């Protein structure tokens, strides 16, 4: 007490209170560090994974009475805050943690040896697991050549379309190979039959504000926002051409795109009402759609994404989660065995496909006949096989901690280019290219300026 009385006499009361609370919280955290996790713990932000994980962990606990695990669902934002707090301040964290890509990106901002997850690279090589996992699926979890997280999924993207509307119009989608083919052949669906002066339908859920879909299309075209060394490449020629092309889809009197995030009730109504006839469809969205919009069953089919060029890539990738092992948590070897058993379980892989339409990245499971079953929701198409056929070709994505910032400035560039197009009444790719280049250069410079402030990254511009 004498110490605290002296403290209050020598420093301002507000600062004294802060110091007092810091000392108390430090003592509490120290006690927690000593006593934490006698029973080990797993965190996940994915509620739809729990029905598969909970029975598995119960079985593990039964077989390993001295290695007991519990599992907790924590929202993605809350989990990220708790996890990053553990990395930087030593607060208790779970032994293994399922995370979203965004959380991984935020974890990679510091020096390589300060990343809070255990480096899995050498272990994966030693145990022969690298070749078992779909190669591109490692991208978001690999930073400066090192793998820190086990990939949970592939998330290939197909194109869903209102098959009842398309087939009634006599359109044969088997003749569609490129985006140019798609818009040319689907154009009759936009006729203004009700006479209100607007197209009755739009052909794709794309808009200048949907940064995730702009990036998806850039990656499909072969573009990247960051290269292998982590340097910003937003203003590359392929990105410039892709952005200019997208803006022709969302601007002017003949635009073919319409904003639709595809994951809310109001946006789902645009799909159900046929206002939009084509939609980006990653595997996880299929699962959401079946739960939230069952009345559209039998009115949809899927096809590979139209390519940018003949013979080009017919898929993209969207979203993702993975399993990390925090350095701050004890008992890594036990946590690794559980995590490996969980992610390499064919039973769980099948369960996640049946309940959430998620495709596993474990290639040896892809021959399971479950993926060949006709899906009545998609008019009898073997949706699993169609997803797996594209899985090896998903683009490899960046793990840059600056992706969120780059997305923001990319959206700004798209919006500026769209305003330029509408103001000047120019709506061809060739006319927009001269303005698209400087807009993306400005976006890249904003990102590079921020990157230059990070003295810890080895790959600054």
For residue 19, the domain's CATH number is 3.40.190.10
The CA angle 130-135-137, to the nearest 5 degrees, is: 110
Please give the Cα distance from 215 to 405 (Å, whole number).
13
Same-domain status, 209 and 352: no
pLDDT score recorded for residue 197:
84
Tell how strand 300-304 and strand 96-100 pair up. unpaired
pLDDT score recorded for residue 19:
35
pTM, to two decimals:
0.88
- pLDDT tens, position by position, for the chain (461 residues)? 443 344 344 434 433 433 343 344 444 444 444 334 457 999 999 999 999 999 999 999 999 999 999 999 999 999 999 998 888 887 889 999 999 999 999 999 888 888 999 999 999 999 999 999 999 999 999 999 999 999 999 999 999 999 999 999 999 999 999 999 999 999 999 998 888 888 999 999 999 999 999 999 999 999 999 998 899 999 999 999 999 999 999 999 999 999 986 566 677 888 999 999 999 999 999 999 999 999 999 999 999 999 999 999 999 999 999 999 999 899 999 999 999 999 999 999 999 999 999 999 999 999 999 999 999 999 999 999 999 999 999 999 999 999 999 999 999 999 999 999 999 999 999 999 999 999 999 999 999 999 998 866 654 33
pLDDT score recorded for residue 243:
98
Q: Examine residue 1 and state whether it is found in any structural domain, yes or no.
A: no
Alpha helices in 251-294 (DSSP H): 265-272, 283-292
Same-domain status, 183 and 296: yes
State the residue for tokens 């635009």: 255
pLDDT score recorded for residue 28:
42
Give the pair of three-digit tokens for residue 325: 């092992």
Same-domain status, 402 and 366: no
Check the CA dihedral 287-136-310-418 and report its sign.
Answer: positive
Same-domain status, 98 and 162: no
Contacts (Cβ under 8 Å, ≥6 apart) of 6:
none
| CA-only gyration radius of the chain, Å | 25
pLDDT score recorded for residue 262:
58
Q: Examine residue 458 and state whether it is found in any structural domain, yes or no.
A: no
Same-domain status, 285 and 426: yes
Q: Examine residue 423 and state whether it is found in any structural domain, yes or no.
A: yes
Q: Examine residue 121 and state whether it is found in any structural domain, yes or no.
A: yes
Of the candidates 190, 246, 195, 194, the one whose C-alpha atom is nearest the C-alpha of residue 223 is: 246
Q: Examine residue 386 and state whether it is found in any structural domain, yes or no.
A: no
What is the count of structural domains for the chain? 2
Same-domain status, 267 and 133: no
Same-domain status, 219 and 127: no
pLDDT score recorded for residue 196:
86
Check the CA dihedral 295-299-301-305 and report its sign.
Answer: negative
Same-domain status, 111 and 254: no
Same-domain status, 225 and 103: no
What is the domain extent for residue 340? Answer: 13-151+319-372
Q: What is the DSSP string of 186-210?
A: HGGGG--TT-SSS-S-BSB---TT-
Check the CA dihedral 280-284-287-289 and report its sign.
Answer: negative
Q: Examine residue 267 and state whether it is found in any structural domain, yes or no.
A: yes
Same-domain status, 248 and 339: no
117 φ, ψ (degrees, to nearest 5): -95, 150
Q: Examine residue 381 and state whether it is found in any structural domain, yes or no.
A: no
Q: Examine residue 4 and state whether it is found in any structural domain, yes or no.
A: no
Q: How far is CA 263 from CA 213, 260, 278, 318, 386, in A?
A: 13, 8, 14, 13, 22
pLDDT score recorded for residue 454:
80
pLDDT score recorded for residue 10:
41
Same-domain status, 401 and 298: yes
Same-domain status, 296 and 340: no
Give the pair of three-digit tokens for residue 371: 């993926």
């Amino acid at each position: 007490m004498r110490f605290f009385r002296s403290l209050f006499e020598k420093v301002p009361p507000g600062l004294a209170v802060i110091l007092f609370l810091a000392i108390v919280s430090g003592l509490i955290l120290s006690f927690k560090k000593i006593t934490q996790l006698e029973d080990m713990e797993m965190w996940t932000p994915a509620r739809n994974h729990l029905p598969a994980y909970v029975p598995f962990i119960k079985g593990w606990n039964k077989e390993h009475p001295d290695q007991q695990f519990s599992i907790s669902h924590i929202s993605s934002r809350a989990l990220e805050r708790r996890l990053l707090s553990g990395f930087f301040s030593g607060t208790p964290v779970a032994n293994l943690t399922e995370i979203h890509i965004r959380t991984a990106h935020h974890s990679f901002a510091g020096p390589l040896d300060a990343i809070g997850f255990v480096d899995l690279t050498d272990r994966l090589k030693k145990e022969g697991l690298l070749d078992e996992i779909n190669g591109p699926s490692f991208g978001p979890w690999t930073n400066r050549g090192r793998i820190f997280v086990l990939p949970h999924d592939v998330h290939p993207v197909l194109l869903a379309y209102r098959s009842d509307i398309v087939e009634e119009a006599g359109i044969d989608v088997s003749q569609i190979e490129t985006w140019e083919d798609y818009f040319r052949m689907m154009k009759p669906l936009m006729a203004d039959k009700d006479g209100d002066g607007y197209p009755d339908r739009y052909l794709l859920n794309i808009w200048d504000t949907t940064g995730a879909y702009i990036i998806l299309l850039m990656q499909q075209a072969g573009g990247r926002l960051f290269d292998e060394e982590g340097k910003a490449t937003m203003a590359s020629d392929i990105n410039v051409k892709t952005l200019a092309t997208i803006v022709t889809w969302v601007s002017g009197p003949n635009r073919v795109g319409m904003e639709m995030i595809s994951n809310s009730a109001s946006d789902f109504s645009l799909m159900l009402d046929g206002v939009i006839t084509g939609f980006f469809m990653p595997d996880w969205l299929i699962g959401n759609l079946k739960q939230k919009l069952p009345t559209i069953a039998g009115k949809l089919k899927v096809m590979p994404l139209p390519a940018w060029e003949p013979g080009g890539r017919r898929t993209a990738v969207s979203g993702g989660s993975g399993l990390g092992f925090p350095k701050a948590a004890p008992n890594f070897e036990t946590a690794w065995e559980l995590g490996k058993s969980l992610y390499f379980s064919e039973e769980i892989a099948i369960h996640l496909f049946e309940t959430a339409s998620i495709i596993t990245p474990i290639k040896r499971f892809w021959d399971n006949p479950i993926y060949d079953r006709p899906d009545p929701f998609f008019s009898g198409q073997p949706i699993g096989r169609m997803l797996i056929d594209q899985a090896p070709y998903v683009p490899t994505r960046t793990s840059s901690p600056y992706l969120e910032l780059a997305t923001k400035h990319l959206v700004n560039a798209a919006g500026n280019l769209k305003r330029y197009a509408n103001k000047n009444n120019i709506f061809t790719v060739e006319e927009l290219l001269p303005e698209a280049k400087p807009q993306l250069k400005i976006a890249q410079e904003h990102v590079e300026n921020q990157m230059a402030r990070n003295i810890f990254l080895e790959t600054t511009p």
